[in-house]
Chains A and B, each alone.
Chain A
Amino acid sequence: MSQRVLDGTVARYCLALGDDALVLSQRLCQWAADAPAIEEDVALMNIALDLIGQARSFLSYAGVREGCGRTEDDLAYLRDERDFRNVQLVELANGDFATTMTRQLLFSAYQYELYEGLSRSSDEEIAAVAAKAFKEVSYHRDHAATWVVRLGDGTDESHGRTVAGIHAAWPYTAELFEPLDFDAALVGLVEARIAVDPASLHEPWLGYVTSVLTKATVEVPSTTWAPAGGRRGLHTEGFGYLLAEMQHLHRSFPGATW
C-alpha cells in the first residue's frame, strides 16, 4: 500500500470510529433536561461529553491523514448524510429510558472490546486515543448494565420496556461485527494491525451482553434480520433529522462562535 493510499484508508477508518461517537453523542443530548432524574441527566450528559471527546480525536486525526486540510468541524458539520460512516445502531431513536439504556449497553460493550483491541494498534495516535477512551467506555458499559439489570429485573412495566428495547436494537448489532470487505484497503489495515477485525469482537461482546441480560432476566433475542449499510453511508430515516439539528447552526452561520 503506498503512503498516499494508506493515509486515505486510515482516514476512512478513523472517520467511521469518530462518526459512531459523534452521532451517539448527539442522540444522547436529546435527553438533556428530560431524563428520569436530574442525577441521570448529568450521567447521560457525561457519557455524551466523553463521546464528543472521542469523536473530536478521531475526526481531527482523520482530517490530518486525509491531507485535504479538513478540520474536525468541517467533517462534523459540512458532510451530508451519505458521507457519514457510523453504524445504524447509534442513530436509532432514543425511545424511552429503557430503550436508550439497552442501546447504550449493546454499543458500549462493543466499544469496550474495540478500544481494548485498538489500544494495541500499530498506529500510535489511534492506540493513544483508544487507551484513553477505553477507561471512559468501561464506565459507560457499567452504567448501562447497572440500569438494564434493574429495569429488566424490576416491575412488569420496566421488564416489558427493557425487552422491547433489546428487540428494537438487537438487529442493528450485526453491523458492528461485519467484515470490512466492502473496502479492500480497510482489510489491509487489519492485516497491518492498525485496525481491529470487527468479527473478532463478537464473541467477547456476546459473552458480556449475555451475562448482563441473564441477570436482567431478559432473553437474548434470536432474530436473524440484520439491517446494515451505515459503514457504507446508508442510514435510517431518522438520521437526516438528527444531522439537520446538529448541523443547521453551523451551516446557517458559518464559523459562528460564542
Chain B
Amino acid sequence: MLSGSTAIQRPKKRGFQKFKKFLPIYLMALPGFLYLFINNYMPLPGLVLAFKSYSARLGIWGSHWAGLENFKYLFASDAWLITRNTILYNIAFIIVNTVLSIFVAIILSELTSPLKKFYQSSILLPFLISSVIVSYLVFAFLSSDNGFINNTILKQLGIKGISWYTSPKYWPFILIFVNAWKSIGYSSIIYLATILGFDRSYYEAATIDGASKMQQITRITLPMLKSTVIMLTLMAVGRIFYSDFGLFYQVPQNSGALLPVTNTIDTYVYRGLLELGNISMSAAAGCYQSIVGFVLVLLANLAVRKIDKDSALF
C-alpha cells in the first residue's frame, strides 16, 4: 500500500520538478513549436479543398463537394512517368547524398588543419544559394553559345559542342550531381555534429589496442552513426513523393526537350495548373503526396523495426 502511494506521488512531483528544471529549454523550443503549429498544423483543415470544387465567392467551407474528381488528373496517361521520375530521383538522391555526406563528415572530423572551419563553411555555401541562381551557375557551364563546357573544355579536347538542354540522356547525372553539390554540405554537418559527440575514450582504447585510422572508422564511427543515418533516411523517405521544384524546374531552364527526364509530380502539377489556376486540383496533389509520404514513412519504419528494433523511430 505504502509503496504504491509513493509510487504514484513521486513521478508527479518529479514531473513538475522536471518541467521547472527544463523550463528554459521548453521556452527555447517554443518558437519552433509555434512555427510547426502555424505552418504545418493550422493549414490542415485546408486539405478539405482537395475534395471540393473551390470557388472564391463561396469560400473554403461553402464550396461544393466534388468527391475524388480533383485527383483524376494525377493518374492520366503520363502519370507513371512522373511518378517514376520522382521516386527514382529521390532514391538516387538519398543514396548518393548519404554516402557522400558521411564521407565528407568523417574527413572533416579527422582533419586537424587550421582551415577546418573554412572548409566547413564553404561546403555549406551551395546549400544557401537559391535555385534560380544555381540554375544560372549551371547554365554558365552548359549554355550552347557561351557555356564553359562547350566553349572551353570540349573545344580544348577537340570534341564538338553538345546541346545540353535538348539532350535528355545527360540530365539524370547532371541533376544528381547538382543536388549532391547543393545539399551534402548541410547533411554532412549533421553527421559531423554526431561524430564529434561520440565518446573519445572508444577511440583512445582502439588506438592503444593498435587499431588503424581505417579500422577506427569502420569499426567505431560507422556503427555508431547508424541511428542518425536511419533517422535522416526515414525523414527523406517521407518526402520521396515530393521533388525539389527549383531543381527540376529552374535548373533545366524549363526546357521542353528534357521533360521526359525532368518532369516530376511537382513540375507536372505546376505546368498543368499554371493556366487553369485551379486551387482544388493543387490541393489534391498536395494531399496525395502527403498521404503517400505518410504511408511510406510507416512502412520504412516497420522495416527498420524488423531489422533493428532500437533504431526505429517509433
A and B from one assembly?
A: no
